[in-house]
């Protein structure tokens, strides 16, 4: 991604793809992708919970020189997985994901270009250990594009193994 427009478009691509999951069998949607792994439903819920947390707690703090402290992954992931298996429907999980991603996209589109590149600390660190780049809004959301694509690939491989085409 070379600029903020591409970044926002990439985040939106996931939002578009997720809607294609409406066509898969409900039972399959709640089947773990591998032994000991989450189901597509749990993965979708996980991303929705993170979208909401980022929008409400992280994005407003992304200011020059801020020291943002995030929760441990389990604080978001555990309730997300539990919610996905609570009896909520495939349709509801997809609808909630579409809505949460729309909200992220709207918030990012409202940001000025320069806001994407101000540096801040994340959990006391100035440099992202995975990318080697300073923590900025642009780099933070670029990592979520990678995260989205990682989970998309997991789901697509699972569906392919089940002979399901979207």
Q: Where in the sequence is the domain holding 136, given as residue range(s)?
A: 4-20+39-161
CA 111/CA 133 separation, integer angstroms:
21
Residue 85 belongs to a domain: yes
Residue 166 belongs to a domain: no
Q: pLDDT at position 164, please?
A: 87
Residue 21, token pair as written in the block: 């999951």
Residue 32 belongs to a domain: no
Three-class DSSP category at 152? helix
Give pLDDT tens digits for 25-57: 999 999 999 999 999 999 999 999 999 999 999
Phi and psi at 132, nearest 5°, equal 80, 5
Q: pLDDT at position 102, please?
A: 96
Give pLDDT tens digits for 83-139: 999 999 999 999 999 999 999 999 999 999 999 999 999 999 999 998 899 999 999
Domain count, the chain: 1
- Mean local confidence (pLDDT), 67-89: 97
CATH code of the domain in which 89 resides: 1.20.120.450
Q: Does the pLDDT value for residue 22 go beyond 80?
A: yes
Q: Which of 65, 63, 100, 61 is nearest to 80 (CA)?
A: 100
Residue 30 belongs to a domain: no
Q: How many CB atoms lie within 10 A of CB 165?
A: 8
Q: How much is the pTM?
A: 0.94
């Amino acid at each position: 991604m070379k600029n903020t427009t591409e970044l926002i478009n990439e985040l939106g691509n996931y939002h578009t793809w997720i809607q294609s999951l409406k066509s898969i069998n409900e039972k399959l949607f709640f089947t773990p992708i591998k032994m000991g792994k989450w189901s597509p439903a749990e993965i979708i819920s996980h991303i929705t919970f993170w979208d909401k947390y980022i929008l409400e707690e992280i994005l407003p703090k992304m200011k020059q020189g801020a020291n943002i402290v995030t929760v441990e992954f389990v604080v978001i992931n555990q309730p997300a997985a539990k919610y996905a298996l609570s009896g909520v429907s495939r349709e509801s999980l997809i609808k909630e994901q579409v809505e949460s991603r729309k909200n992220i996209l709207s918030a990012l589109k409202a940001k000025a270009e320069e806001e994407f590149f101000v540096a801040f600390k994340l959990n006391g660190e100035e440099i992202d250990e995975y990318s080697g780049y300073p923590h900025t809004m642009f780099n933070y959301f670029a990592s979520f594009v990678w995260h989205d694509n990682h989970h998309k690939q997991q789901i697509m491989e699972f569906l392919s193994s089940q002979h399901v085409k979207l």
